[in-house]
Structure 1
Amino acid sequence: MHHDLVVFVPGILGTRLTRDGKDVWNQSKQALLSLRSPGRAVEGLMLPPGIRDEAPDGPYALEADRLLKGPEALPGFLSCTGYPDVRAALGWNDGQGGQQLHPKQYLVFPYDWRLSNKLTARRLKERLDSALDEWRSIAPGVYPEAYDDPPEVVLMCHSMGGLVARYYLECLGGREDTRALVTLGTPFQGSAKAVRVLTGHAVEPRNLAARAVQRVLSVNERLAALARSFPSVAQLLPFYRCVAKEDGSGRKRLNRVPVPDLPPELVREAFAFHEAIDNAWERNQAGLAAPPYRVHCFAGRAHPTVAGVVVGVDGGLTFPTRLDNDRDWGGDGTVLGGSAFASWALEREDDALWNGERHAGMAGAETLRPQLMAIRRSRPARQMLSGDADFGLEMPDLALDGEPFTVRVSGPTVTGRTLRARLVAPGLPETDAKPVTLLPDGTGGLAAELTAAAGTWTLQVEADRPHAVCHDVITVAEA
């Protein structure tokens, strides 16, 4: 596998979107969070109605020029710490004499994450067909084994990038040229946070000052309008039984029970997308004991994660981290562990690689590097079942400039350990940020209050004995 073409497919928010060299998403987000210019909140970023699986043109078209380098977030939905050095973060340069990747052996695939994953998968196929042909012509001069074993593709995917890859593999014939699929926090069964943002409940106003509640409601309304225009967000809707009612009638799928303020056409699009992949998988696997490519699945289950939606008798919506007691509802803070587990290819949960990192920082997690190096060398990756080092992290979706917000950790592993939290500014080293020690909160967990200026920050929480660290992104709006 070490002579194969390595392709990195980022997740939603992971690619910078520009027009005339200017970052459109950053400009739109700042307007979206401000009450002073609501009309500019979605200018240049919202897609036209009914675009579905087609490419936008004219003023709706944007350039996807490179991977995100710093932290970014769609408040209350998804976040990404950025990919400042993907090759180093993914551990391909091991510093132990292992052969490094040839420049033509590594491909980054930035894409417009607003668009349908079907369209993005078609673009991925076009790019890979060309890149793989070029690498196969070069590889034998670099790796002698490539003469007898033609190089194939190793897909390394973060978050939604794994859904793009699955559509490419099963619906567009990509499995014929692929050696391995490696996914990091991919929501194979969707994420309930997509329901939250699409129904206008992305940011919870609790624990915010009374004067901020109206502002949060306005932000939620604009976020919902923006997200509803993105086919990709609809395709992240949960495919599992995620809807419960207060009458105790049991959990159901989104296509079986209406959810107030969730457009039914978005639900239909989401289920059609998932069903297309599942049906293609069944056809492709007919008569086969295993797929022609290996699947390596990295997932988290240490953190409280929105599990679904409860519809009240008055039509009100709540988004709990548990729906019942019949399963483990933990995840990576964005995607439930059960959703990130590649159950379509792996038989046992022990076949996945579980870790304590948050969704936003999983692609750059230090603890994943040895496993990724082992995968590239075709060696068994060490299992990382959640254990003594992991802890659950809770944090707000949005904070206000200068006002304190609470970071809380919980779980049986926090007893007797020292945990510290710090906010790291984009472009500055972690050592420049002053850590704050978390203290007992009276409920068996630990907590600390932090404050920050307006901007997008990386939150780092680090524990000792044994050492563990996780990262996420918090957006701080102007007060």
Structure 2
Amino acid sequence: MGSALREATGARRLLWGLQDPSWLLSAWQGRSAALRPLQLDESERSGRYGRVEPAGLLRFPAWAPFLHGLEPYDHLLKTVRDAVADPAAVLAFAYDWRLSVEVNGALLAEAAHRHLVAWRDSEAHRRARRMHPDGREARLVFVAHSMGGLVTRAAFADAAAHGSDLDADTRCVVTLGTPFLGSVKAAVILGGNRSDPLPALPGRGMQALARTLPGVHDLLPGYRCVDAGGDALRLSPSDVAELGGDKELAAQAQDFQRRMRAPGAPVLPGHRALVGVAQPTAQSLRLEGGVVYEQYESFERNGDGELARDPATGLPLRRDRAGDGTVYRDAAALPGRESVTWLPLQHGALAKDGVALAHIRAILTERDQDLGPALGVGGIGLDLPDCVEAGRPWLAHLRPAPGEELDSHAGIACSVHDAETDRRVGTGRLGWHDGGVAASITLPAPGLYRIRVTTDGTSPLTQLVLALDPTKPI
């Protein structure tokens, strides 16, 4: 949901990515008609697109249930543009995230080829070649956050299928929090989070939207994540239908995932993966009567890839591997020899945090020796609700990384900011609650806020929270 969307004809009304935070409140807290234009209609399900079009990358903070808020990409774009020979060398590729990854991958492959041809034919490119030590011709570098990494992989698959030389034209691909193996969060979205009945209204609205979208079904976990007691199973299309999704879209998504995993499938050249760690992240799930129950642990595997089992009981062994709050850490990197950098950050912050942006700049400028070691050791996790009631206190829990302890809140600070302006509007009172460290926060009025937690020696943790109007039903 990181691209703004608008009507393709008529008034070309903006459908997603509006600046006004009051639209978010009305859309998710009662006025379901605001979301209806985003649902895929029968014509679009049949492949006749064009009713909705991308209107650029997200420029303002946004929010959707289960996703912890959506940050704009202005910091990432500035970093990339400042690192290259000329801003004209950068193409910001927005896409209709409602559609399938495969459809958007084909569009990206075409757009990347057009952009490279135009840049190579420009005077700015000729100047840059004269200044470069070896004078070589420009190649592509893809920088992709979240679902964008899946779209990028699909672009290489589409190019290979049509005999294109996209691989040869690409120097490297940088992915930030990309769910290569899917995310349990997608199943929770399609299930409407019925295991947690409050607040019910935003969850139902998101479920009604998501069940029509191929893009959401493409994010379903493709690994063995369903807890069956004595076994771990893959989520089936029938399971998806039972929990509230679309069986046909789930089957299509699984078929595409299998093709991406098959021997001989295209690889991402020079792949560098930035992966969020230390954040509480759903890694597996339990299904009971069509209700999804998130589980914050994954199933361990032996060296042969099979389930590791307890020798005494024969039950699968489990372990909390954490992640970025949305994508489990082992789902965000492809098996193989690509370079992986672990960062103790939330999903959205991977495209905004200063340390992550410094890594991206070093890769773009080919100063990889400046990257330093992986930074995933240590750090704390931030565990917040998606939305709260304005005027009512709630707790922001700080969690130690798996295998570590948080025995003090000395050196930790929590502040509350207006999401659009980043103006500080409050402070969280840190203390001990239920045996752990948490900050007590009261948001002053309905709207979108950014919670920021700073600690000694690590990057700030941030997450967006929507404060609902307590006078309206939730």
**What TM bracket, shorter-length normalisation?**
0.7 to 0.9
Q: Any conservation in 1 of the 2:173–2:270 contact (CA below 8 Å)? A: yes
Match of 1:154 among 141, 155, 160: 141
Mapping 1:434-449, distance limit 5 Å: 434-449=426-441
Amino acid at match of 1:170: A
SS of residue in 1 equivalent to 2:121? helix
Q: Does 1:415 align with 2:423?
A: no
Residues of 2 paired with 1:68 and 1:418: CA distance?
A: 34
Residues of 2 paired with 1:79 and 1:310: CA distance?
A: 25
1:130 maps to 114
Residues of 1 paired with 2:159 and 2:142: CA distance?
A: 15
Cα 1:136/1:413, change in 2 over 3 Å? farther
Cα 1:438/1:332, change in 2 over 3 Å? same
Amino acid at match of 1:34: Q
> How far apart are residue 243 of structure 1 and its match?
0.8
2:393 maps to 404
Residues of 2 paired with 1:361 and 1:383: CA distance?
A: 19
SS of residue in 2 equivalent to 1:445? strand
Mapping 1:42-57, distance limit 5 Å: 42-49=35-42, 51-52=44-45, 54-57=47-50
**Range 410-419 or range 128-137, more displaced:** 410-419
1:339 maps to 331
Q: Any conservation in 1 of the 2:24–2:63 contact (CA below 8 Å)? A: no
Residues of 1 paired with 2:446 and 2:282: CA distance?
A: 26
- Deviation per residue, 1:282-324 (Å, 9 max, x gap): 3256xxxxx5820100001201111222023x55431121255
> How far apart are residue 31 of structure 1 and its match?
3.7
SS of residue in 2 equivalent to 1:180? strand
Q: Does 1:107 align with 2:99?
A: no
Match of 1:33 among 20, 28, 37: 28
Q: Any conservation in 1 of the 2:280–2:399 contact (CA below 8 Å)? A: no
1:293 maps to 269
Cα 1:55/1:476, change in 2 over 3 Å? farther
- Deviation per residue, 1:24-44 (Å, 9 max, x gap): 135874444223x44x14332
Q: Any conservation in 2 of the 1:353–1:384 contact (CA below 8 Å)? A: yes
Residues of 1 paired with 2:222 and 2:454: CA distance?
A: 34
Match of 2:129 among 128, 143, 146: 143
User: Structure 1: 5+ residue runs without aligned partners?
Assistant: 1-12, 95-99, 206-212, 286-290
Cα 1:53/1:418, change in 2 over 3 Å? farther
Q: Any conservation in 1 of the 2:280–2:296 contact (CA below 8 Å)? A: yes
SS of residue in 1 equivalent to 2:416? strand
Residues of 2 paired with 1:372 and 1:429: CA distance?
A: 24
Amino acid at match of 1:386: G
Match of 2:231 among 227, 250, 262: 250
> How far apart are residue 79 of structure 1 and its match?
3.1
Q: Any conservation in 1 of the 2:61–2:71 contact (CA below 8 Å)? A: yes
- Deviation per residue, 1:319-357 (Å, 9 max, x gap): 1212554444301000000111222x436xxx3100011
Residues of 1 paired with 2:195 and 2:432: CA distance?
A: 26
- Deviation per residue, 1:148-188 (Å, 9 max, x gap): 53211000000000000001013323323211000000000
Residues of 2 paired with 1:452 and 1:202: CA distance?
A: 28
2:205 maps to 222
Residues of 2 paired with 1:65 and 1:41: CA distance?
A: 17
> How far apart are residue 78 of structure 1 and its match?
5.7
2:421 maps to 428
Amino acid at match of 1:356: P
- Deviation per residue, 1:193-218 (Å, 9 max, x gap): 1001111217934xxxxxxx4xx334
2:376 maps to 386
SS of residue in 1 equivalent to 2:44? coil
Amino acid at match of 1:141: R
Cα 1:55/1:453, change in 2 over 3 Å? farther
Cα 1:146/1:124, change in 2 over 3 Å? farther
> How far apart are residue 436 of structure 1 and its match?
2.3
Number of residue pairs matched by the alignment: 430
User: Structure 2: 5+ residue runs without aligned partners?
Assistant: 161-165, 300-316
Q: Does 1:66 align with 2:59?
A: no
2:82 maps to 93
Residues of 2 paired with 1:46 and 1:330: CA distance?
A: 32
Amino acid at match of 2:373: Q
Residues of 2 paired with 1:316 and 1:199: CA distance?
A: 7
Residues of 1 paired with 2:268 and 2:222: CA distance?
A: 25
2:294 maps to 319
TM-score with structure 2 setting the length: 0.83
Match of 2:214 among 231, 253, 274: 231
> How far apart are residue 376 of structure 1 and its match?
1.6
Q: Any conservation in 2 of the 1:194–1:237 contact (CA below 8 Å)? A: yes
SS of residue in 1 equivalent to 2:109? helix
**Range 377-386 or range 399-408, more displaced:** 377-386
Q: Any conservation in 2 of the 1:334–1:359 contact (CA below 8 Å)? A: yes
1:82 maps to 72
Residues of 2 paired with 1:52 and 1:269: CA distance?
A: 12
Amino acid at match of 2:150: L
> How far apart are residue 104 of structure 1 and its match?
1.8
Match of 1:364 among 352, 359, 370: 352
Residues of 2 paired with 1:397 and 1:71: CA distance?
A: 14
SS of residue in 1 equivalent to 2:156? helix
User: Percent identity over the alignment?
Assistant: 25
TM-score with structure 1 setting the length: 0.82
Cα 1:455/1:18, change in 2 over 3 Å? farther
Residues of 2 paired with 1:364 and 1:137: CA distance?
A: 32
> How far apart are residue 147 of structure 1 and its match?
7.9
Amino acid at match of 1:136: R
Amino acid at match of 1:406: L
The RMSD of aligned alpha carbons is 2.6
Amino acid at match of 1:15: S
**Range 300-309 or range 168-177, more displaced:** 168-177
Q: Any conservation in 2 of the 1:159–1:186 contact (CA below 8 Å)? A: yes
Cα 1:222/1:46, change in 2 over 3 Å? same
